[in-house]
Structure 1
């Protein structure tokens, strides 16, 4: 029994230490209650609930902000994950959207984008002429630092994360390198907390690994909707940029998937609700929906097979014979 009590106390101490590290340790707040006598009433709240609203970067999407516990923490390391290389454009566009929201609050400060020569050669640089039109970011507000090696990029990110001259720091990494381990992300997270500014970690084509980032968003490109006109959606047109955002990790541990559109005019996100489409056959007693009308093409009448005389000229030539009848290549 003595060993069980010791083990139980050890488990409780470990849980308390983990909650303290994660910032979810319950806090005691002394609040006087009108009409109460004697000592004040103690109210117990979780650390996540008592956080100041200014501590989060609000995306403007109520469902996403609520699932993240208020939004993206400003003084923290936030991970934006692209599962495949082809998602690099969507991840970069989503990061620029967040940078636009950050620069609205910290005007006059630039954003530093750090990467290696490999990542910039593979994914490219953002188009400078489109920064202002799409995101409201001036070209001189986005600085780039190209490091020859990942070790140099991590050092630049750690040093820049504690400098008050930047509104935010973006670190773009490709794959799952061994140098980007839990210790390296803890250093970045600690620098971001001490400086009070966000550090965005862009992961291109990498596996989901344990990191110190309290938030991990998995971003991919979503089909763009048609442009809206006064007469309705314009068929065949391409509308606003759209992202599919999955919550891979958060302090609330609430899952969720959202389709967000970026409004280049207002520089803000908008949630898009997909139209419900039947993906399974209707019941036997039901009726199938009418097929959508399409273009009608006129073709000349085709003669019946019996009307075609089996002459030699009607037989396919040697070059027109099916491929499966030709001899296979050997050797």
Structure 2
């Protein structure tokens, strides 16, 4: 991620389809847990509630946030979740803009579906600017939407990933479900290159861990001052056949080079 995500301003999280709504909301709520852990590490004892804003249509499609479940997921208590439902998109944007400048809130979520015309570059600029001034993150959750120009410096496309088996002292336990996992694609970033990876969320430690394939290994050499990587046995690289080299004392025949019989040009 090129150093992580910004702790203030607008962060855009996309879901390609409506069925990804749960994964998008869960990933964003995990990000709020990271913000809470960061505040605790900095000794900030005072923390405010989280405001979740959505239109009636968005809540009808994705459902309301479940406070008891989210509290165990990220460390927030159910009393710290405030939900605002707006019948119109303009009302939801107005609530988000007014809430974005409040320092008393830990984070603001704005959940929308599709690509409404009112959510243009100007509207996202206001959200981003007010979030920066307040020093708070503004999570813009876009359900079943395609990418379009916004003021958010980061855009992530999130979907659910299969959970791995639960790890025990004896190894992975077959038939069990481990930590929740998300497939994250970097669609836009000012600090990171485009890429896709799988993250597992640990709700007890409130931390993400990247899941790597079992057969993964570095594909580049070690640092300049370090030693080179040991070659992997059993790898074969095929090249095109090369013509045999011509000996230095080989003299071409007359049939191959009839031009040798001609008279050389003087001068």
TM-score, length-scaled by structure 1 = 0.61
Gaps of 5+ in 2: 217-267
Counterpart check, 1:112 vs 2:48: no
> In the alignment, what sits opposite 1:20?
none
Conserved 8 A contact 1:103-1:109? no
Task: Compute the displacement of 1:204 (Å).
Answer: 0.2
Counterpart check, 1:92 vs 2:25: yes
Name the CA shift for 1:234/1:253 in 2 (closer, same or farther; >3 Å): closer
Any residues of structure 2 matched to 1:57-96 within 5 Å, and which?
Answer: 64=1, 66=2, 70-96=3-29
Name the CA shift for 1:253/1:96 in 2 (closer, same or farther; >3 Å): closer
Counterpart check, 1:207 vs 2:140: no
Inter-partner Cα distance in structure 1 for 2:160 and 2:123: 29
Inter-partner Cα distance in structure 2 for 1:226 and 1:86: 23
Task: Compute the displacement of 1:253 (Å).
Answer: 5.4
Higher helix proportion = 1
Work out which of the residue numbers 194, 201, 215 in structure 2 matches 1:262. 201
Task: Compute the displacement of 1:103 (Å).
Answer: 2.0
Could you list the structure 1 runs, at least 4 aligned residues long, displaced by more than 6 angstroms after superposition: none
Q: Could you give the per-residue CA deviations for residues 220-241 of structure 1, whole angstroms, max 9, x where no partner exists?
A: 1111000111221111111110
Q: Judge which range, 96-105 or 240-249, deviates more.
A: 96-105
Task: Compute the displacement of 1:131 (Å).
Answer: 2.3
What SS does the aligned partner of 2:111 have?
strand
Inter-partner Cα distance in structure 1 for 2:36 and 2:48: 7
What SS does the aligned partner of 2:30 have?
helix
Task: Compute the displacement of 1:146 (Å).
Answer: 0.5
> RMSD over aligned Cα, in angstroms?
1.8
How many residue pairs match? The answer is: 212
Inter-partner Cα distance in structure 1 for 2:165 and 2:132: 41
Work out which of the residue numbers 110, 127, 134 in structure 1 matches 2:66. 127
Asked which structure has the greater RCO (Cα within 8 Å, sep 6+), the reply is 2
Conserved 8 A contact 2:7-2:35? no
What SS does the aligned partner of 2:13 have?
strand
TM-score, length-scaled by structure 2 = 0.76
Task: Compute the displacement of 1:126 (Å).
Answer: 2.4
